[in-house]
A = this chain, B = another copy of it.
């Protein structure tokens, strides 16, 4: 269950003429809360602000986002040591039509829920992936952002019901590997670590950014570039990243399986030491 707040007050509804409802005109962030504090907060705020500007909405002040979050965390009943805050930022209410009105006030919703962590075995033995049939369209104007237009992810995630499959990987319409429905993906190859460029589609995850920053600080190269689907099968190993679970190794995708990678163990330690607590106990 999620407890929702509008700005600083509890809410269960949103105005029907909010542009989020009518057009998906907005963005969201899913922030990991650990012991009451938002994790990778600056990255979340930066992505939301950059996205808002790209959509032609004014960037919300950090202080407004932070007040809303603090108020929500202070009032929510379900906050444990690990929770999730979903921040929804919308273009606000407006009359019929795609054209925004100049006087519109943006809406901020914050939803607090218990974190659902993957079992320990996922961190130790790796997770099972599948390759989704749903493809991501090439749309550089929206690439990287976590907009409220998420039908591609909805279609991809609803391709399977098998609980043993943890995540689905998606290709773009040209067949390049891009990301998971709710995660980013990294490949260990003979030429080193690789992660797909998020320039035409896909979401530029905050945990992806954190991992790339850690790797950079450690002097470990990670190539950010276009990745053909075939490279997935020829890679030595794969892991996925996400703001909630941190990093998780993949043990198989469809019929293809990967052996555990020592390189992943090293990376996972680095990630844990950086304050991302999730990992094998």
Report which A residues bind B (CB closer than 8 A).
1-2, 4, 11-25, 28, 55-56, 84, 86, 88, 91, 95-100, 109, 111, 113, 134-135, 137-142, 147-158, 173, 181-182, 201
Contact = CB atoms under 8 A, between A and B. Distances in A.
Contacts of A98: 150, 153-154, 156-158, 181-182
A95 B25 contact: no
B23 A21 contact: no
Q: Among A16, A25, A111, A150, which residue has the most Cβ atoms of chain B within 10 A?
A: A16
Contacts of A141: 134-135, 152, 155
Contact of A173 (B135, B139, B152): B139
A13 B91 CA distance: 16
A56 B181 CA distance: 17
Contact of A151 (B4, B25, B155, B201): B25
A23 B96 contact: no
Contacts of A4: 16-17
A98 to B, nearest CB: 4
A96 B86 contact: yes
- Copies of the chain in the assembly: 2
A12 to B, nearest CB: 6
Contact of A17 (B2, B28, B158): B2
Given A15-B13, A138-B138, A173-B138, A151 B158 contact: no
Nearest to A91: B154
Of A19, A154, A158, chain B has the most CB atoms within 10 Å of the CB of A154
Contacts of A153: 23, 98
A15 B140 CA distance: 32
Contacts of A181: 98
B158 A100 contact: yes
Given A13-B15, A23-B153, A56-B158, 8 more contacts: A20-B21, A23-B148, A24-B151, A97-B157, A98-B154, A98-B181, A99-B157, A149-B149
Closest 9 CB pairs of A and B: A24-B24, A137-B137, A13-B13, A98-B157, A137-B139, A149-B149, A23-B150, A4-B16, A149-B151
A142 B2 CA distance: 29
Nearest to A139: B137
Nearest to A99: B157
Nearest to A140: B173
B158 A99 contact: yes
Contact of A150 (B16, B24, B55, B86): B24
Contacts of A91: 154
A27 to B, nearest CB: 10
Contacts of A23: 24, 148-151, 153-154
